[in-house]
Amino acid sequence: MMDGNVNTASMGEMNDQAGLEALVADLGSGNVIDAELLEGCSVEAHELDEMGPEEAAQVAAHCFATLFGHTVESAQCSEADADAGRWAGTLDGFGFVISRDDLGDLVLDFSGPAS
């Protein structure tokens, strides 16, 4: 006899994923990385301009967890160019790009998982 909780857990996970995707779609772009957003992050604000790929992934994962309440299990930065002010990668399948805007602020944009 099958345990009915198996299907419930799967549906809950699917609903959680759909909810997370909706949050990212609604609130995932234009997030300025400031001291408040970085609070509790292992990378400090004065280190942002010189981030390598590991630090960029840590910053993106921390901000993702802060903004969306989702603990990131897999964070990878595939592009890191401190001189150009651009870092990009993935967090649990969601894309992220950190870039410098016209005012000199670092802005974090998230995108939904590739389908």
DSSP code per residue over the chain = ---HHHHHHHHHHHHHHHHHHHHHHHH-S-EE--HHHHTT-SS-GGGGGG--HHHHHHHHHHHHHHHH----S-EEEEEEETTTTEEEEEETTEEEEEEE-TTS-EEEEEEPPP-
pLDDT in tens, the chain (115 residues): 444 444 344 445 556 889 999 999 999 999 999 999 999 999 999 999 999 999 999 999 999 999 999 999 999 999 999 999 999 999 999 999 999 999 999 999 999 986 5
- Token digits for 45? 């604000």
pTM of the model: 0.85
